[in-house]
Structure 1
Amino acid sequence: MATSKKYDVVVFGASGFTGQFVVEELGRVTSEEERGLIWAVAGRNQDKLNQVLEKASSTIGVDLKDAVDVLLADIENEESLNDMAAQAQVVLNCVGPYRFFGEPVVKACLKNKAHHIDISGEPQFLETMQFKYDEEAKKKGVYIVQSCGFDSVPADLGVLYTVKNFPGRINTIESYLTLNAGPEGAVGHYATWQSAIHGLANAEELRNLRKEMGTKKPLPKSGPKLENRGPAHWSEMLQKWCVPFPGADASVVRRTQRFLYNNGENCPVQYAAFASIPDRIDLFKWQAASKVVTSLADTEFGLGLLEEYPRLFSLGYFSHEGPTQKQIEGASFNMQFIGTGYSNTVLEDGDYDGPPNMTIATQVEGPEAGYVTTPIVMVQAAITLLKEMKKFPAKGGVMTPGTAYKDTSLVERLSDRGVIFSITAPAASN
């Protein structure tokens, strides 16, 4: 990788809703332990970028205006994207939805040999980029590392953390996400909602892509098939109703498991992701809203309604304005992992085709998911890439977090910043 780049990191989309929080987090980190890191912000409006730096300076108590350069780059101006990428070792791409705006940035990074980190939770974009650009990235020694935010580092690295701490061979892992709202409630920004509904609208395209990539073929199993828990089930552990988590976690984890298996590094883990629902009434609301949203997303008119009225159709969970600062400060998340498998004692006796005989429980917990945890993860992902590139597999490629960071210190770095990985119940016989 060229060492003549002017900036270690460039935050593209710094004036967007999520981008402004990434700027604040990067400002904190570079005013503390990473003072030698040289970085810039980029976007299409210089006044807005200057305002973001002013606000971040006020928030973190450090003047960023003289220390951080401002670059002009527009998603619709290829030359400006090339100029930005040519100056950066790592581009933090905060401009979404990525299905609309992501590919030109990836192409600019590849052309100019800049590493690219995104926070996309859109499986179609993620898998399309792997299909189209993985070989080129490998040839050019460029890392395109995807989903480096709340989507989907807690899930992907949480699975690897659980496997690492299991004294044997894990067969299945189920994760259970609880999003905790503070007294002011919780709400997500419109861009996340837009990504989700367009994912529903184009689900058939994703299925066809997976057929073309050959990734629909199931991976081999090391034990009984993971239980199908249906559209909702009661969790004794959480004492709550749970539904399949609609985000990218399952897709990202499966891609990591496929990579590890193809490289002879593990026996694939079967994985399912769930989210908890506070009570039966909320479960009913969730199921009714899901049916309405899925139905509307099938038509152009319905999709327009979903885009215009996110608060209505999401039952208040998403809005054009996004959360207030008080809502962000009061929120947190907890993701529990339950892994089952076979102890080393059983495996030493030869092939064993009985039920798993050992269980482990781990967790990842942290502050508000979208605008506190995501910036923490994205910034630490960039720093880890810069400092520990030799620990990455191969010499480049389009990668999931688990693929890229499996041998690095990212888990420890995140725990130091408040996104904490831990064992809640050590592996024990069933």
Structure 2
Amino acid sequence: MKQYLGEMEASTGIANLKDKIPIIEANGSDVKSMSKAFQNANLVMNCIGPYSLLGEPVVKACIDSKSIQCNYNAAAARNQVYVVGSCGFDSIPADIGTQYLKQKFPGHLHQVEHLLELWYNERNRFSYATWIALIEGYKHAPQLKRIRKELFSPTSSVYKPYTWIVPQKRSSFKRSSRGYIVPFPGSDRSVVKRTQLHRYSVFNELPTQLEAYYCIRDLKTVLRYAAMGFNLSTFTKYEFTERLLRKYGDFFSLGTFEKGKMPDRQMLLENQFKLTLLGRGWPKKIADSDKSVSNMTQQSAVIIRGGDGAYIETATIAINTALVLLEEIYRQQKNTTLPYGVITPGSIIPPEALVNRLNREGRVVVDFVENYQGE
């Protein structure tokens, strides 16, 4: 940690970080050790990973010490703790961006199309820990699918059922002027759905739908990602082949990940992302009884731009989310009856507060376009 703080001094120009920031040691596999470390904390940012392997003890420790944990989920309501998951690049831009679009939309926002575009230096390599996290994600995908099916079932005990006026259709593959559009495999779609159904169940706020897509600019990259996805989905089914994935990630990821090599920071600074949240719905003048697909004519968008989404802006987003979360927790404890427990960012964080903070800092910029004319 002292070595890391030293590196931060060099990259930020802030002197004596090693002396200014106290270091509290705890055993990451020992709940009691971490509970003791967290006992005076108001908020804990869980940056541990892969989460499915190492995250649970941190959650338990946070609940025991009654601090806020800014990462995944746990049963926390009985101890009056908020556990807020998906607070990095997955899935703050999609979740808070959708809520911001909903807040600014001049009418009834009914559906959102999420399109992520990335520009990055292909010579750079991602952290091998990210490859291991991908393996864990694909390995537990069937279990996650069952959980989501139960969670979003019309008979779910968690959310009130809702019937969409115009159900949103999902495309599997399409061409556009931007490139090849494919379904985005991350958690954005599920997180946004949880937020929308939570706010409908608790606040009776009309929900919106979201379908998430990723834009890939050339066919070669489409095929490379398809091959990597095939390797992950196939080889994580069996213990022996999973060991091959872990040992020979350079080969099975087609060179995207390289063991023993960290991403080059200078190359990371060249990376950029753009997330377009295209919203469609009805203008204010349309009565609920008259709403149909033919008069769903209002089209607005939220456009979010930033640098490297995988590492640098994930930290930017997570830290700013944590600061807004702290402020909002104390405000809501006094003014609302929002239940404690496992919630998504959009369930508790006011979108404008986080958007304003990000725009002031300037690394991640969020814009609203009332009458969007793009694709």
TM-score, reference length from structure 1? 0.78
SS in 2 for 1:312: helix
| Count of aligned pairs between the two proteins | 362
Deviation at 1:387, TM superposition (A): 2.5
Partner deviation per Cα, 1:245-290 (whole Å, 9 max, x = no partner):
1111111111111101112442221111111111123223322332
Q: Partner residue of 2:170?
A: 228
Matches within 5 A, 1:28-427: 49-62=1-14, 63-118=16-71, 126=72, 129-130=73-74, 133=75, 137-182=76-121, 185-211=123-149, 213-217=150-154, 220-230=162-172, 232-236=173-177, 239-320=178-259, 321-347=261-287, 350-355=289-294, 356-392=296-332, 394=338, 396-406=340-350, 409-417=353-361, 418-424=363-369, 426=371
Contact 1:391 1:407 in 2 (8 A): no
Contact 2:328 2:348 in 1 (8 A): no
Q: Partner residue of 2:158?
A: none
Contact 2:303 2:368 in 1 (8 A): yes
Contact 1:116 1:145 in 2 (8 A): yes
Contact 1:364 1:419 in 2 (8 A): yes
Q: Which runs of 5+ in 2 are unaligned?
A: 156-160
Q: Partner residue of 1:32?
A: none
For residues 55 and 290 of structure 1, the distance between their equivalents in structure 2, rounded to whole angstroms, comes to: 35
- Structure-2 change in CA distance of 1:179 and 1:152 (3 Å): same
- Structure-2 change in CA distance of 1:422 and 1:185 (3 Å): farther
Partner deviation per Cα, 1:151-207 (whole Å, 9 max, x = no partner):
11011111112212211112211111111114x644322222222222222222123
For residues 360 and 279 of structure 1, the distance between their equivalents in structure 2, rounded to whole angstroms, comes to: 28
Q: What code does the residue aligned with 2:176 have?
A: S
Q: What code does the residue aligned with 1:334 have?
A: K
Q: What code does the residue aligned with 2:359 have?
A: S
Deviation at 1:332, TM superposition (A): 1.3
SS in 2 for 1:148: coil
Q: What code does the residue aligned with 1:325 have?
A: R
Structure 1 moving runs of 4+ over 4 Å: none
Contact 1:190 1:319 in 2 (8 A): yes
For residues 395 and 262 of structure 1, the distance between their equivalents in structure 2, rounded to whole angstroms, comes to: 12
Q: Partner residue of 1:22?
A: none
For residues 214 and 181 of structure 1, the distance between their equivalents in structure 2, rounded to whole angstroms, comes to: 36
Q: What code does the residue aligned with 1:310 have?
A: G
- Structure-2 change in CA distance of 1:253 and 1:57 (3 Å): same
SS in 2 for 1:70: coil
Q: What code does the residue aligned with 2:167 have?
A: K
SS in 2 for 1:315: coil
Higher strand share: 1
Identity of aligned residues (%): 30
For residues 300 and 61 of structure 1, the distance between their equivalents in structure 2, rounded to whole angstroms, comes to: 47
Q: What code does the residue aligned with 2:19 have?
A: D
For residues 128 and 10 of structure 2, the distance between their equivalents in structure 1, rounded to whole angstroms, comes to: 26
Partner deviation per Cα, 1:11-44 (whole Å, 9 max, x = no partner):
xxxxxxxxxxxxxxxxxxxxxxxxxxxxxxxxxx
SS in 1 for 2:7: helix
Choose between structure 1 and 2 for higher RCO, CA contacts under 8 A separated by at least 6 residues.
Answer: 2
Q: CA RMSD in A?
A: 2.3
- The farther-off stretch of 418-427 and 106-115 is 418-427
For residues 276 and 291 of structure 2, the distance between their equivalents in structure 1, rounded to whole angstroms, comes to: 28
For residues 143 and 84 of structure 1, the distance between their equivalents in structure 2, rounded to whole angstroms, comes to: 18
- Structure-2 change in CA distance of 1:427 and 1:264 (3 Å): farther
